[in-house]
Amino acid sequence: MTTEDFRSDPYAWIEATARQAPERAFLATLSGRRWSYADVHRLSGSWASALQRLGVSAGDRVAAQSDKSPEAVLLYLACLRMGAVYVPINPANTASEVSYFLQDCAPRVAIVRPADAATLGPIAAAADVSQTATLGADGSGTLADLANNPASDPGVRAHLDPGALAAIFYTSGTTGRAKGAMLTRGNLASNACALATTWKFSVNDVLLHALPLFHVHGLFAAVNTVLASGATLLLLDAFDASLVLRHLPEITVLMGVPTFYTRLLQLPGLDRHSTAHVRLFVSGSAPLLAQVHREFEERTGHVILERYGMTETLMNTSNPYEGARLPGFVGTPLPGVEIRLLDAQTGALIDQPDQTGAIEIRGPNVCAGYWRDRQKTISEIRPDGWFKSGDLGRFNREGYLQIVGRAKDMLITGGYNVYPKELEQEIDSLAGVLESAVIGLPHRDLGEAVTAIVVANPDAMISEASIIAALQVRLARYKVPRRVLVVPELPRNTMGKVQKNLLRERHAALYET
């Protein structure tokens, strides 16, 4: 196995450790389950064989809406091993959202939770998905039954080009509908190697995993970096600040969204002693307030390392492992990644520090485009490979990037991205609604809280509660507005465009009490 294999074939990591240190722990749970690298190599083979018997071949999509569990990790690894394209779906997504994903990605098989099989089976069939299998939170279900069948062939393995697709991750967009970012085996492999090197991962590391598995943060930044370094995962079902605090003495690395750190700071037990065993705290997915950064250092002596990523590009920049980790900055480009800033008006290259421009990214981390959406691919990725991030940034004199805003209309709540357009379309379609504007307002716990400002049709009766109730059945919970304010009209500029800045200023203190 060469370094080149590691940068191009993500499954090669497991094979290497399973051969060199078969008994080393890959994954442990709080309930005492433990898998070595040899176990995961053997099991991923049986699971790949099960997928094959469901008709899956290399290049076929496998869509999965499952709870977080070791078996959900295994399913992903089985796909990597056999060259199937893994399409994870947030368990919070409603049936109508799942229906859209299935129609769009046209998977060979849909994996659903046993309790959802009755509802989602017909939805999958209507989307022409020929097979549905189940996977429960405890790892049981028809998929595990197939994998445990003695007829399983644990030797299944595809050796594919680094350009072959490994995963499709849906990310909503400014046009409303979610788009599938096509991530290749080379994207995954190169990015995990860059992170493992930059963050000095070793076989001695134990990463506490409290993130969801259906986003690139939890699956690729966390799981892949552990795999690429032969390290160990301690898998939690979900983030729970007290539980995380209790287990810090057993781990060396924590990766989280800023809300993790805000919540940990609320616990009196967070101090130098409880964090002494940890060598690295990483934050990303949303801006980490400089105040949280400083408070964390005062309490624990640890300087949180902030980095910047995107679904379409995986991780782009990082503060240094050794050297100054600056509050409010996301660091310098990772090895192999290029970042440039373009003047938002003229498109001219900005080559001076302290000037704000549109961030563009190029490198082996940039996705192959959007699934079955050539138009969007062409509009977001330039012919010479530069990806338009939609974020605005500036470099300081030391070459550290700071994200100063977004050109795209998007907000981030607890690390989850919400695109106002998607919600506004849903709200505007409700009876009695004339128009709406969705904004993010400052929220101590979630960073930003989804807030809808709604205008009723003349003579119509609408209320905050009725709008929230109607949205709850259509949208994943994290997208549903925390508050809906019914107002007589929306502020507009002379061009007729809704002035969201004014709305944000006007309601800035809504969540302060």
* Interface residue list for ligand MCA (CB under 6 A): 211-212, 215-218, 239, 257, 259, 284-285, 309-311, 413-417, 446, 477-478
Partner in contact with 239, chosen from ligand AMP, ligand MCA, none, beta carbon below 5 to 8 Å by kind: ligand MCA
Number of Cβ within a 10 Å radius of residue 221: 24
Return d(Cα 291, Cα 281) in angstroms, integer. Answer: 16
* Cβ distance to ligand MCA smaller for residue 327 or 481: 481
- Mention every residue, 6+ apart, whose C-beta is less than 8 A from residue 156: 45, 48, 49, 52, 81, 82
Q: Where are the alpha helices (DSSP H) in 149-283?
A: 185-198, 216, 225-228, 241-247, 258-265
Q: How far apart are CA 17 and CA 23, in angstroms?
A: 9
Local structure of 108: helix, strand or coil: coil
- Residue 157 interacting partner from ligand MCA, ligand AMP, none (CB closer than 5 to 8 Å by kind): none
Pick one of ligand AMP, ligand MCA, none as the site partner of residue 259 (Cβ within 5 to 8 A by kind): ligand MCA
Complex with ligand MCA: residue 186 or 415, whichever CB lies closer: 415
User: Closest distance between ligand MCA and the C-beta of residue 194, in Å?
Assistant: 14
How far apart CA 183 and CA 370 sit, in angstroms, is 9
Contact residues for ligand AMP (CB under 6 A)? 171, 284-287, 306, 308-311, 330, 389, 391, 403, 406, 412, 417
- Distance set, CA 323 to CA 201, 255, 393 (Å): 17, 19, 21
413 binds, among ligand MCA, ligand AMP, none (CB under 5 to 8 A by kind): ligand MCA
Minimum CB distance to ligand MCA smaller for 78 or for 367: 367
- Least distance in angstroms from the C-beta of 443 to ligand AMP: 16
Q: How far from 416 is each of 294, 310, 356, 408, 448, CA to CA, in Å?
A: 24, 12, 25, 15, 10
Query: Token digits for 162?
Result: 């680094």
Shortest Cβ 193–ligand AMP spacing (Å): 20
Three-state DSSP state, 270:
coil
CA distances from 169 to 88, 122, 146, 149, 219 (A): 7, 23, 26, 30, 11
Toward ligand MCA, which CB reaches closer, 332 or 417? 417
- How many residues comprise the chain? 513
CB of 486 to ligand MCA, least distance (A): 21
Q: How far apart are CA 158 and CA 346, in angstroms?
A: 47
Q: Please identify, using beta-carbon distances, which residue of 243 and 498 lies nearer to ligand MCA.
A: 243
Q: Which does 477 bind (CB under 5 to 8 A by kind): ligand AMP, ligand MCA, none?
A: ligand MCA
If contact means CB under 5 to 8 A according to the sort of partner, which of ligand MCA, ligand AMP, none does residue 391 touch?
ligand AMP
Nearer to ligand AMP among residue 141 and residue 447 (C-beta): 447
Nearer to ligand MCA, 139 or 256 (CB): 256
Q: How far is the CB of 403 from ligand AMP (least distance, A)?
A: 4
User: Which partner from the list ligand AMP, ligand MCA, none does 511 bind, CB cut-off 5 to 8 Å by kind?
Assistant: none
